[in-house]
């Protein structure tokens, strides 16, 4: 039987390659940081496509905390939480996350994909409605699919369209608006103040995925609730420990204690997945201590974003408006985005071109992700490479 299936897969894979959509993985031979070594390159390249927003992926203090946690609590849990997979460290980290987001309780998952995938089905039925932004992350989309609630989708950050959906869902028992905090391809921030106003008007709950916004947006980087002064109005936050918060693994949902308690009882990714490893938990606890001590990393990140964005716009590049650490350099043509990324790697700058179906047709781009780990010289080197390649390929004059 497999011979027939193999032929089918071979043809499907070749079709993906012929369409220019085949994904290849570049092999990094160093820790994740601003300057990395890649197998296919000579020497080091500067990394501008990681989610390492606060530059913590190779932080020595976190590495030491991970080692100490492993020495004290072991390598792995070998179990799910409710059987015998909960340590005191897990509860300590959940308290730290709740403190950070000013919520009552938190539940840990292996990843934010699991947090979003396990959120909706335990809480809502076919009597309810989920109203989701059109550019929400795939994990939210999949979580909604697993739930029997009625589904509504509104155009990205379009409040008139959101209100239309809320009106259509007016007869549903419970309603929840689901949105990313920062949309990962464009870098724009969801207008949470307006979303919360509509939620109050139509008696709806609000859920936000803070994966690309926590640690980044807001005066001290505490995310969209801080940015828009929406504490107490956003009911549920989900997020990851794998981006700003150290860059390892793990996700979470945080919010009212009754919601978190129900997820502990019925959320399938929580009930049927191993607990987060002690080393990751220990490092994450230390990371939240670091963020309480100083706002230096967030300040440096914002300085880097402003510097890079302003220099690129001055050079003539088309940059989507951003309030986050994501700068979308618009090229519009899929092949051009791939050629541009390849030329940038020759210049020692590691970036990725995105095109349909990851972004809409005709909206191809290079997505640049800034980090507190980048220094000014590295930013200047990247900007110079963008200008050189942009002129070579006719993107700028």
Name the active-site residue from 33, 243, 298, 374: 243
| 250 vs 281: CA distance, rounded Å | 8
Name the active-site residue from 90, 137, 175, 212: 212
Is 184 among the catalytic positions? yes
Which string of DSSP letters, residue by residue, matches 112-145? Answer: HHHHHHTTSTTT--TTSEEEEETT--HHHHHHHH
Is 243 among the catalytic positions? yes
| 219 vs 167: CA distance, rounded Å | 34
E strand or H helix at 33, and its extent?
none
| CB contact at 8 A, 328 and 289 | no
328 secondary structure, DSSP code = E
Find, among 234, 303, 308, the residue nearest to 46 by Cα. 308
Name the active-site residue from 184, 213, 279, 371: 184
- 357: preceding bond cis by omega (within 30 degrees): yes
Strands 129-133 and 150-154: parallel
| CB contact at 8 A, 237 and 255 | yes
275: its two tokens: 């607990």
Find, among 338, 116, 133, the residue nearest to 209 by Cα. 116
Q: CA distances (Å), 53 to each of 121, 352, 371, in order?
A: 31, 16, 4
Q: Residue 212 half-sphere exposure, CB side, CA atoms within 13 Å?
A: 24
| 126 vs 230: CA distance, rounded Å | 29
Give the catalytic positions in this structure: 184, 212, 243
């Amino acid at each position: 039987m497999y011979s027939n299936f193999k032929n089918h897969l071979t043809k499907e894979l070749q079709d993906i390659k012929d369409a220019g959509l085949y994904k290849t993985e570049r092999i990094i031979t160093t820790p994740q940081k601003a300057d990395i070594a890649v197998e296919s390159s000579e020497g080091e390249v500067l990394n501008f496509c990681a989610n390492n927003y606060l530059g913590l992926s190779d932080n020595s203090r976190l590495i030491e905390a991970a080692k100490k946690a492993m020495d004290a609590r072991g390598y792995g849990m070998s179990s799910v939480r409710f059987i015998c997979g909960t340590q005191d460290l897990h509860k300590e980290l959940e308290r730290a996350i709740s403190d950070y987001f000013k919520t009552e309780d938190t539940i840990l998952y292996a990843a934010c994909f699991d947090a979003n995938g396990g959120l909706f089905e335990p809480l809502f039925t076919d009597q309810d409605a989920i109203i989701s932004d059109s550019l929400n992350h795939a994990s939210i989309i999949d979580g909604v699919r697993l739930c029997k609630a009625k589904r509504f989708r509104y155009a990205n950050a379009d409040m008139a369209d959101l209100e239309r959906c809320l009106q259509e869902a007016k007869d549903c028992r419970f309603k929840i608006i689901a949105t990313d905090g920062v949309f990962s391809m464009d870098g724009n921030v969801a207008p949470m103040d307006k979303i919360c106003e509509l939620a109050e008007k139509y008696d709806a709950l609000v859920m936000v995925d803070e994966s690309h916004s926590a640690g980044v947006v807001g005066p001290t980087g505490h995310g969209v609730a801080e940015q828009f002064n929406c504490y107490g109005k956003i009911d549920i936050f989900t997020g990851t420990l794998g981006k700003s918060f150290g860059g390892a693994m793990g996700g979470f949902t945080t919010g009212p204690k009754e919601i978190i308690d129900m997820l502990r009882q019925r959320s399938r990714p929580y009930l049927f997945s191993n607990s987060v490893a002690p080393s990751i938990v220990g490092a994450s606890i230390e990371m939240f201590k670091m963020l309480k001590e100083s706002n230096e990393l967030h300040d440096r990140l914002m300085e880097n974003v402003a510097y890079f964005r302003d220099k690129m716009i001055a050079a003539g590049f088309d940059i989507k408006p951003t309030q986050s650490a994501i700068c979308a350099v618009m090229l519009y043509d899929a092949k051009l985005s791939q050629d541009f990324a390849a030329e940038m790697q020759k210049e020692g700058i590691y970036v990725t071109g995105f095109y349909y179906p990851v972004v809409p047709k005709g909206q191809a781009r290079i997505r640049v992700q800034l980090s507190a780990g980048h220094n000014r010289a590295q930013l200047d080197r990247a900007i110079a490479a963008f200008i050189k390649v942009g002129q070579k390929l006719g993107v700028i004059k």
